[in-house]
Structure formats: C-alpha cells, structure tokens
Amino acid sequence: MRKTTAILLLATLVLSATFCAAAVPEDNSSEFPFGDFSWMHGANYTPSYAATDVETWLNYDPAVVDRELGYAERIGLNCVRVFLQSLVYEHAPEKFLGNFADFVDRADSHGLKVMPILFDSCFGVSPSLESQHMWVANPGPDRMSEADFEALDAYVRAVVTPYVGDERIALWDVMNEPTVTVLSLTDEGRAQIWTFVRHYARLAHKLDSTHAITVGVAGTDSSKVIDLIDVLSCHSYAPTREKFREALATTQTQARQAGKPWIISECCAPGWGNRYEMVMPELREFNVGHTAWEVVIGKNQFAPISGLFYPDGSVRRASSIEAVAGKPVPNLTVKPDAEGMPIARQRAGRLAEYARFLARNEVSDLTWRERNTAVAALIVHGVYKPAAADVLKKLEDARTAHAEGQRDVAYRAVAELLRRAAGILTERDKAGAAKNEQARSIDLLNLGPWTNPFSEHPLFRAVVDEWNVTAEDDNAKQALTVSATLKRSTSHPLTVGADWSAAVPTDELRLDARNLGSHEVKIGVILVTKDGRRIASPFHVVEPGKGDTLIFDMLDAEPEQEPGHTAHVTRIEIAVRGMHARVPYRVSGGTLEFRRRPPLKPVTIEPTDLTGDAGTEVRLEWKSSAAKSLDRPIPVSLTVEKEKYVFLKATSRMVGTDDGVVLEPVSIKLPRGMPGGEYAIFADTRELPIAGQTSRRA
C-alpha cells in the first residue's frame, strides 16, 4: 500500500534485470578486498524455541531450524545473522560445534549465507545453562578481562578455523553492540570493553584472512575499531524515516572516509516505529547490505515488537513480508497483529517474570554469574530506587564473599536481593494494571484497552472533541504537555485520494508539545471519521526537555476507504508513546488546529522515454504539456515502484521556465538484484496538485 500518493505522475520503465530470490548476486567490486556487501539481503535469526542463545545451541532442534530457515528462503533472503554462545561451547564443545555445523549446512541448503556473531554484550546479564527467559550476554560483563582471554581464545579458534575459505560464511561479527552493558557506565568499564573487542578483532583476522570481519555497534559510531574491521556495521531502530535516513547517511559517510564498505546489521522493529514498510525502500535507495530483525516471532523478548513469521509459517502482517520480499508473496496466512502491548509495559512484565524465576530457583555455582549480574542490571533499570545505593553495597559485599570462598553467604545475599526485586516489580505491575483499569473510564486519557492505530504502541490517547480539555496524572514524575483544543469544526470533510491514499491537500494539523521527561517520546494524530474509520499520521519525535510545534501532514495517512470516498472527521485523537516509561506523562493545555494552505493551479506532466538496466543510472526528465508558470520551485519526491512496492527513491524540483513547468533532471542508480519487468515512476508533491495520470512503455 502506498503511503504518500495523494497526487502522482505515472510513467513506466522496462528493466532487463533478472531476479534470483535467494541467490547472491555476483559482486564485481574491486574497490574493497571482500567486496562491498551490497548484495546482502538478510535477517537476524533466533529459533522460535529459544529465548536466549544458550537455548539456541543447548537445545538445538534441527527440524525447527530447517523449517524456519525455509521461511527466509521463501521471501528471497540470502543471509542470516545468528548469535553464538561461548558458554555452551565450554559446557559441551563437540555438541556445540556439531550443532553450528548443522546450522551452516541447513542455511546453505536454503540459499542462505551465515553471519555468525562470536560475542554479544546485550544486556549486561551473564549467561548460565538455565538462561531461558531474558536475553543474556556472551561471555558476560564478568568475563571480559584479559584474564579470561585464554579460555575464550580457544572458543574462537574452535569456531572460526573450520570455516576458513568456506563460502557459506558471509563474514564474522566479532561482537554485537559492545557498549550495551553495565560496563559502559564507567571509564574503566568502557576501556575494558574496547580492549576485549580489539583483541578478538585481531584474533579473528589472524585465524581467517579469507573472510571480512565487522562489529555491529549500537548506533553508528565504529570509531573505536574502525582500523581493525573490514566492514562498518550500524544498528538503527529510528522511529521516523528522517531519523533512519540520518543514521544511514552517518554510517555511509564514516565508511567513505575510512575507505571501507558498510552494512546495517540490525533494523526493523514496528513496535518502536521502525516499520519494514518504511525501512526497506530506504535500504534499497542507499544500496546497502542489511540483516533486518528478525525472521521468526518466537519465544524471545522481542516478539511483541518485531518479527516476520510465526513458528507455523503464518505472518503478522502481509505488507511487512512483501516489503522485505520486494514483490507480492502469494498464499500468506495472516494472524491478528500481536504488537498491541506497549514496549514499556511489556518490558516491565518480562522483568517481573524473570525476577520471580530467579528468586524461585536457588543461587548455586551453576547460576551465580547470571544471578549476580542480573541484580546489577536491575539496579541500572531503576528497580531498586530509592534504595539502589544500599542494594549496590550488598551486591558488592556478596561478590567479595564469593571471591573469598564464602559462597553460601554470597548465594543467600543475592537470592534475597532477587526476591526483593521480584516483589517490587510484581507490585509495580499490579499498580500499573489498576491504573490502566481506572483509566478506561476517562475519555480523554484512554490507557486501555491498548490499541494499535499506528502499528506501534501508544502510551495513551488524548481524545479531542468539541471543547477545551485537560487530563492530568498528578503522580507523574515526568510530564508531557500536549495541545487538546480543536479550533475548527469537529466535522471536517476529508477526501480520500487515488491509489488508497488519504488526501487533505490543503490542510495540515498543528500541535504544540513540550516533553518534560528524561526520554524522547513520539506523538501522532489519528482522525476518526463519522463512519468509524481511523486515519493515522506519522509520529513526530519530541526530545527530552524540549518543546516544539508539530505539523502533521495527513497525506501520510493510510485509511481503508476506497479511492474517491468522502468522509467527515468527527474526532481527533493524540497518540503518545515513549520507549522507557510506564505512562509517566500528562496531557494539558495547548492548541490543536487546522491551517489552510493556499492552493496552486494544477499542472499536467508527461513522461519521456526511460530505459535502463539494473546496476546502471537512469536519467529522469518531465515537461508540462501546457505552459504554466510557478512563482517558486516546488520539491518533488520520486519513487520507482513495481506492483505498489517502492524499490528506490529520489528527489527533484518542479521549476517554472520560459517553456513551461519542468522537472529538474535527476539520475538514479538502479540497484543490482531488482526484479525484471515493468516499473512505475511516481512523482509526488505536497504543494502542487499534478493533474492526470499518464503512462508510457519505454
């Protein structure tokens, strides 16, 4: 479904490229020793039976893995990124290595190269053989000193050496998100992290000179290892197209300056606003290799916010599958969207469940590492506030006792801290549930039942009817002030334009907002029509401690009405979501208004002949059929599409000349691997109504 097509121009383009869904295109790049990796079109993979990488390899199930890798093959992926686990290797070396070898074999049988991740910092909790609830690190913050290198060197040698020269391996990811751990809170800890990463980057290079190595950083900054890696790798879950493009451009610039290729090895989390439908066209426009998050909606904690296939092969959303595939995918079974629970509440519930599990099971030699680092992580999460300092002192005393051989003392102390956390989190969840139940009776601050109008997670919705409203949470320690006054009529005519798009070509919604909290929040607007339809705008981000006047262009709305339908907006809802907070916001004051734009005269544009092969540049030019003048240049967005799927984008301007209105020429590069056939070129502008639709085969 197109997202911005209120006004459009259609031309056609025939490409001679052939499309091999799962095959890796030939990389003819001579600029980089290992190629440019733009061929990489993949996803991260954790089997559906596993909440952690401990479970992935300890309980390895080849039948499940084979079936789920088949889902990746079905939508044309050619690579999977997979998390390894050194603890399982140390526990059962032959079993672990055999399981990994089987995984590589099965991936290859589905046309998938493998990008193994040797280590992982997320999220600062060390693993145990019982790890089966929350994601655990590898090797963990307590095993990243130089004293641990000897044992971990043996693990890396055992994993890497058998695959020297093996074309089934795409590249080695030395460590996932090194800084996402409690160690990053201190200068000493950060130095320890990068000493660890640099040591294993050197070792991986020494062991295998036939494959590239990378480090998947959280964000875009690879400067700490840029001299040792062959490929830069960024992660971005930015909630808006602009922020996501900014992350891509930043990494691209850094890579160009370093003279190295780059990839994005994590992206796509609809629950955080980073939708597959938004991300994939941008990746194709940048022509960057990628592994999205993730193939399967399984047991891990990320299932409510991301994932493509359920374990049985059904899907959460067909449009997400087709965005990744780049083409229609037949015979999809769609299940109701499971992304309706806000991530903050989901995280709280998971933490409480995890803490209760840890508290129920005794601390022992087997579980000591996970249990004591879990307490440290819970401190960082703010669970023990305002007694965090006291808890930290008790944890340090327990660690000292353990180091001195007083293990029973240490185990009892940590067990007590975990029971304390379980109690706090359980009560917090109960209080949150009670608040949500109470809020159902408040029209203007509707906290439940949770809805998903943006394919994301609103923390609340402020409903604007006919008069000024105020809804406050007096207990909130953080606050967000948002407008809540409709200045125009509450029944506003809305015309739905062509190609399944909402068009309010002369109107925009304006909103004043101020974020008084410590985390960024996202604000969106929903128009509710007389017949009950809901039309959602994109989200705007308001940074902590800042205010802004937000303009919501409802051309981006995605209604369900047929083209040409006219509806009347009877209610406006403001949706606010925040990643880190449990409804710590209030709505008060401000103004929400419509603002009229001056209309421009329509111009009819006709295409010239267009031809091009994949991997080449195509020059786009248009000229008006009637001499019309413009008083200023008008920005135009161009998209190259096939069957309503956007393959790449470009920008240009409509300008007035002595000969009439023309589009400034623009050249676009067609990426390798695009399906062959007829393509549509759309020109979109939010300021100029382009009259008519014309098409012409090149």
Task: For residue range 422-442, list pLDDT tens digits in order.
Answer: 999 888 777 765 544 433 322
C-alpha–C-alpha distance, residues 451 and 646, integer Å? 28
With a pLDDT cut of 70, the percent of the chain lying above it is: 58
Band (pLDDT 50/70/90 cuts) for residue 445 is very low
Residue 185 backbone dihedrals phi, psi, to 5 degrees = -80, -15
Query: pLDDT higher for 71 or 452?
Result: 71
Residue 447: closest CA among 589, 341, 353: 341
Tokens 């003392």 sit on residue: 409
Band (pLDDT 50/70/90 cuts) for residue 361 is confident
Query: Which H or E run includes 149?
Result: helix 149-160
Residue 84: closest CA among 198, 173, 199: 173
Residue 242: closest CA among 538, 644, 549, 574: 538
Band (pLDDT 50/70/90 cuts) for residue 74 is very high
C-alpha–C-alpha distance, residues 668 and 648, integer Å? 9
Mean pLDDT, residues 406-435: 85
Least confident span in 38-47, 202-211, 581-590: 581-590
C-alpha–C-alpha distance, residues 451 and 197, integer Å? 42
β-sheet bridge partners, residue 291: 42
Q: Where are the alpha helices (DSSP H) in 216-342?
A: 241-258, 276-286, 318-325
β-sheet bridge partners, residue 106: none
Radius of gyration for the alpha carbons in the chain, expressed in angstroms and rounded: 27
pLDDT score recorded for residue 428: 79
Query: pLDDT higher for 391 or 335?
Result: 391
**pLDDT exceeds cutoff 70 at 145:** yes
pLDDT score recorded for residue 20: 32
Those residues whose C-beta lies under 8 Å from the C-beta of residue 661, and which sit 6 or more positions away, are 603, 605, 623, 624, 627, 628, 629, 630, 654, 655
Residue 534 backbone dihedrals phi, psi, to 5 degrees = -120, 125
C-alpha–C-alpha distance, residues 57 and 363, integer Å? 23
Residue 631 backbone dihedrals phi, psi, to 5 degrees = -85, -10
β-sheet bridge partners, residue 264: 234, 290
Residue 229: closest CA among 221, 240, 237: 221
Fold of 1-19+598-698: Immunoglobulin-like (2.60.40)
pLDDT score recorded for residue 298: 92
Q: Tell me whether strands 634-642 and 507-515 are parallel, antiparallel or unpaired.
A: unpaired
C-alpha–C-alpha distance, residues 174 and 217, integer Å? 10
Q: Residue ranges per domain, the chain?
A: 1-19+598-698, 39-326, 344-439, 460-596
C-alpha–C-alpha distance, residues 183 and 355, integer Å? 21
Mean pLDDT, residues 366-376: 94
**Three-state DSSP class for residue 446:** strand
Residue 300: closest CA among 132, 173, 425, 71: 132
**pLDDT exceeds cutoff 80 at 696:** no
Residue 140, CB half-sphere, CA atoms under 13 Å: how many?
24
**pLDDT exceeds cutoff 70 at 629:** no
pLDDT score recorded for residue 157: 98
Torsion of CA 445, 447, 449, 450, to 10 degrees: 120
Write the pLDDT tens digit of every residue in 474-484: 333 233 333 33
Tokens 């074999």 sit on residue: 105
**DSSP 8-state secondary structure symbol assigned to residue 269:** B
Mean pLDDT, residues 50-69: 96
**Three-state DSSP class for residue 258:** helix
**Three-state DSSP class for residue 214:** strand
pLDDT score recorded for residue 610: 43
**pLDDT exceeds cutoff 90 at 267:** yes
Query: Which H or E run includes 679?
Result: strand 677-684
Band (pLDDT 50/70/90 cuts) for residue 667 is confident
Are 51 and 300 in contact by the 8 Å Cβ rule? The answer is: yes
**pLDDT exceeds cutoff 60 at 373:** yes
**pLDDT exceeds cutoff 60 at 190:** yes
CATH hierarchy code of domain 39-326: 3.20.20.80
Mean pLDDT, residues 454-462: 30
Q: Tell me whether strands 507-515 and 547-552 are parallel, antiparallel or unpaired.
A: antiparallel
Average pLDDT, the chain: 73
Write the pLDDT tens digit of every residue in 231-266: 999 999 987 888 899 999 999 999 999 999 999 999
Write the pLDDT tens digit of every residue in 498-555: 222 222 333 445 565 666 555 566 666 666 656 666 656 656 677 666 666 666 554 4
User: Can you give the pTM of this predicted structure?
Assistant: 0.65
Mean pLDDT, residues 151-173: 98
**pLDDT exceeds cutoff 60 at 196:** yes
Those residues whose C-beta lies under 8 Å from the C-beta of residue 304, and which sit 6 or more positions away, are 271, 338, 339, 341, 343, 346
Band (pLDDT 50/70/90 cuts) for residue 458 is very low
Distance of CA 453 to CAs 52, 559, 575, Å? Answer: 31, 11, 9
Torsion of CA 320, 325, 331, 333, to 10 degrees: -30
Distance of CA 361 to CAs 21, 443, 454, 528, Å? Answer: 47, 44, 40, 50
Instruction: Work out the angle at residue 241's Cα, subtended by the Cα atoms of residues 239 and 246, and round it to the nearest 5 degrees.
Output: 95
pLDDT score recorded for residue 620: 64
Are 35 and 43 in contact by the 8 Å Cβ rule? The answer is: no
pLDDT score recorded for residue 514: 62
